[in-house]
Each structure stands twice: as C-alpha cells, then as structure tokens.
Amino acid sequence: MPTNTSAVTFRRTRSKASCKAWLLATALAAVCAAPALAQQAPIKVGFMTVRSGALAAGGKQMEQGLEYCLAERGGKMGGRPVELITVDTAGQPATTKTRAQELVERVRVDAIIGPLAAFEALAIDDYIRQVGVPVISPSAAAEDLTQRKQNPWFVRAVGTSAQANHALGEYAAKDLKLKRVVTIGDDFAFGHEATAGFQRAFEDNGGKVVKKLWPPLNVADYGSYISQIPSDVDAVYAAFAGGNGLRFLQQYAEYGAPAKVIAQMTTVDEGILKSMGKEAVGVISSGWYTATQDVPGNKEFAAGIRAKYGADPGYYTAGAYEACAFLDAAVKAVDGKVEDKQALMKALREVKLDKGPFGEVALDPYGNPIMTVTIRRTEEKDGRLQNVVLKTYPKVSQFWTYDPKAFLADPVYSRDYPPARHLGN
C-alpha cells in the first residue's frame, strides 16, 4: 500500500527533517515571489477510511480507488502536489469524530474525502458545519445528508441509498412484469432506505410488496427468514450490505432458491462478487456503478483497476475514485487556491465531469450527483462473475421522477415509510 506508507512516513519525518525544509521554504517564499511558491505547497487532503473491524474490506477498496486516482494525476491536483493523510475510523462514530478533529485541527487539511459509513458521516455532520471544511463522501449514502439535513460543506460523489432502487422498482414492474414481491434487507438505515425506494417505485407502477423481512445486521443465520418466503411470489428483493449479501445468497441457494432474486446494488457488488459462487448467477440488480457499464471513461478505469489490483472495481473503489475526481475538478476550477474554502466549496458544488467510472455526472442543487443508473444481471463471463448491463437509465437524480419539493416534504424513507399497503395479499 504505497499511498498510506508514504503518507505515514511523511508525517513521521515532518517533525524532524522536513520541518527544517519547510522553514527554509517559508524563508525563501518571503524573499522570492511568494504567490508562485504558495501554489507549489502541497494540498492536504484528509482521507477517512476503515482499516480495522467489520468494514475493513470496503475501506481497502476505497484506498485503492483513491490511490489509482492520484497516481493517474501524477500525485497532483490543479498543478499542486497532493499530500494525502489517511486515517482509520474503525467504523466507530466516536472514533470518526476524533479522527476528523485530528485532520482539521492537527493536520489542518484543505478537504476531506470520507468517511465510509452513513453513521460516520452523520457523526461528523455538525462538526464540519462548525469548522467549515469541504467534505466529499465516497460512499456514505444516507438520504438526508443531501436532503432534509443537507450540509453546506458536504457533497456526495455517490448516490443516495434509494437512488438506483427507484429505477429497479420501475424495471421490476414494467419490464420484468413482476406483480408480487417479498423484500428482505439488512435492518439498518441503508437497508430501510433502499427498500423504501424500491417499494415506492414498484408500487407506483402497479406492483405489490406483500411481505417485508428485516433480519438484524449481525444475524447468525438467515435460515429462519428464508423459510418465511412464500413459494408463490414472483421475486424476492434483497437489500444487503457488506458480507451479508454473500451469506444470504449462499443460504438462499441452499434452501433451494424458492423465487428469483432482484437486488439492491451492494448485494452483488463487484467488491463481494469475487467471493461468491454460482448462487449469484441470474440476480438482477440496479446500481449507479457497474464495472462493465458503457459510459465515457469507465472502460479505461475498470481495465486500469483490474490491471493494478487484480479485481473488478465496485461500489467503494469507484466511489473513492469519483470523490477524488470531484476534488481534482474543483481544485482546477479555483486555480489551485484551495486556501479559500468558500470558493473551493462553491466549485465542488458546481462540479461537472464528462467522463469517469460514472460517466457524465453533475451535482443537483442539494450536492448529490445526477448520474446514469443501470439494471444489470450477474453472469459468469471470462471465468469470473460479472454484472452485465441490461438497461440504462440516464440522468437519474435522487428524487427519481418525483417533484423534489413534495419529496422533501414527506418523511425520510424508513422501515415503515412509505407504508406498504399490500402486506399479506
């Protein structure tokens, strides 16, 4: 992991040797043309990842995405070298807050990429408001971060929990012609919001969600839940994160797979697909990123990641890359003058990318990207499992086809909202 070692060594040495160099540089700057040199001072980017505990797999993929992005740019953004300071939040909100303080108060970073989990992002939400540091989320998908609790210092490089699931809901009803569906999802906000988005679009297009199952996040066994799925439904909608998709699909296959599976994107994400077996074949899912999607810039990206790390990029890899690309674009827009945080933040909110893993991307007024969503099917190709694109929905926003004002006037998506009107039918 060259990125983090370099960051760590740099920080270790700064107190000793580099300190002198830095003093020298400052002295020189006073004598010589000061502005020109200031442009050459590194941009400090804080990166909050997870290296310990349950979420470490996602953290590692994020590190790869970010490392790849920086290497591609020769370690520079807007002509200035980038100093990356990587911290490990351990997936704990309290630790995340302390790490954020370390980045802001001790290292004095110019911007932060991270953190990974939604509850981590929420834990530092008020803090970043107070200190005014631009934060770009590479993965945290909680709806309200760019909806009812939007934060002037926060933009998101990935979609909301429900963003791609609206599309899947419509596709399931209109194209797959499914009528009755059972949902099963992780019992936490990400699972709730994803399922709610699916259910809303599915039922608005004539489908019926007849049962909703919520296994706890750390449930030992899905057997008792799978046994509750009636054999006469058209499909099961699965919304799992982390390793739970792997466990669910494996156990589901062991129980004879009573109905076809449609899924939220992280259930069969490329990051976990590499650990899966035949049980994942045929799962239809939706997402804003698929390693095989044909959007400008993705072919190079996916091939590059595969060549460098030997695995297809997924949710976390692409999200971190995109967050880095956002920052790069914003730094360019302000001519490298990242010290003006207001200007940098303004530039971040106006970011438009015409290529990259997500293809063409622009942010909506709430700081959430409008991007291509694809429907894909998991297939075995070239000796490995891949998600193959079936249909593309261009320019999907977090509000889908709904009116943003009315959308925001409703309560946030949850386990019970929108209410399921067809339970038991």
Partner 1 sequence: MAFWVSQTLNALALGGLLFMLASGFSLIFGLMRVANLAHGALFMLGAYVGLALVKAGFGFWTAAATTAVLVGVLGGVIERTLLRHLAGRTLPQVLLTLGLAFIIADACLMTWGGDPMRLPPPPELAGAVRFGDVVFPRYRLFVIFASAAVALGLWLLVERTRAGAMIRAAVDDVGMARAIGVSASTLFTAVFCLGTALAGLGGVIGGPILSVYPSLDQDMLPLALLVVILGGAGSLAGAFVGAYIIGFIYTFGQVLVPDLAYVILFLPMVAVLAVAPQGLFGRRLG
Partner 2 sequence: MTRRMLPFAVVLAAMALVPVFTPSHFYVNLTSQVAIAAIGALGLNVLVGHAGLNSLGFAVFPGLSAYLVAWLSTLGGFDPVSAGLLAIGGTMLVAGLFGVVALRATGLGFVMITMALCQIVWGAAYRWTSVTGGDNGISAVPRPGTGLLPLERPEVFLWLCVGTLALALIQLGRFFDSPMGVALRGTRDQPRRMSAVGYDVWRIRFSAWMLAAAWGAVTGLLYAWYHQFVSPHMMAVTASAEVLLMVVAGGAGTLAGPLIGAALVVLLKNLASIWIERWVMLLGCTFVAIVLLMPDGIVPGFGLLRAALARLRPAPAPKLVPRERADV
Structural tokens at position 195: 């399922």
- Interaction between residue 385 and partner 1 (CB under 8 A): no
Q: Which does 142 bind (CB under 5 to 8 A by kind): partner 2, partner 1, none?
A: partner 2
Residue 65 CB, nearest distance to partner 1 (Å)? 15
- Interaction between residue 66 and partner 2 (CB under 8 A): no
Distance between CA 17 and CA 59 in Å, rounded? 31
Type of residue at 402: Y
- Interaction between residue 414 and partner 2 (CB under 8 A): yes
DSSP string over 202-249: HHHTT-EEEEEE---TT-S-SHHHHTTS-TTSSEEEEE--TTHHHHHH
> Within 160-219, which residues bind partner 1 (CB under 8 A)?
187, 213-216, 218-219
The dihedral built from the CA positions of residue 309, 191, 150 and 368, taken in this order, carries a sign that is positive
> Within 264-283, which residues bind partner 1 (CB under 8 A)?
271-272, 274-277
Given 63, 83, 110, 125, the residue binding partner 2 (CB under 8 A): 125
- Interaction between residue 90 and partner 2 (CB under 8 A): yes
Distance between CA 124 and CA 317 in Å, rounded? 22
* Cβ contact 408:397 at 8 Å: no
Residue 153 CB, nearest distance to partner 2 (Å)? 14
* Cβ contact 267:238 at 8 Å: yes
- Interaction between residue 384 and partner 1 (CB under 8 A): no
Given 23, 126, 230, 421, the residue binding partner 2 (CB under 8 A): 126
> Within 232-261, which residues bind partner 1 (CB under 8 A)?
242-243, 246-247, 250-251, 254-256, 258
* Cβ contact 48:113 at 8 Å: yes
Structural tokens at position 33: 């043309």
* Cβ contact 115:47 at 8 Å: no
Q: How do 135-137 and 284-287 pair as beta strands?
A: unpaired
* Cβ contact 204:229 at 8 Å: no
Residue 382 CB, nearest distance to partner 1 (Å)? 20
Q: Number of residues interacting with partner 1: please give it, by CB under 8 A.
A: 39
Binding site for partner 2 (CB under 8 A): 4, 8, 11-12, 51-53, 87-88, 90, 92-95, 97-99, 101-102, 105-106, 118-119, 122-123, 125-127, 142, 149, 187-189, 192, 217, 414-416
Binding site for partner 1 (CB under 8 A): 52-60, 187, 213-216, 218-221, 223-225, 227-228, 242-243, 246-247, 250-251, 254-256, 258, 271-272, 274-277
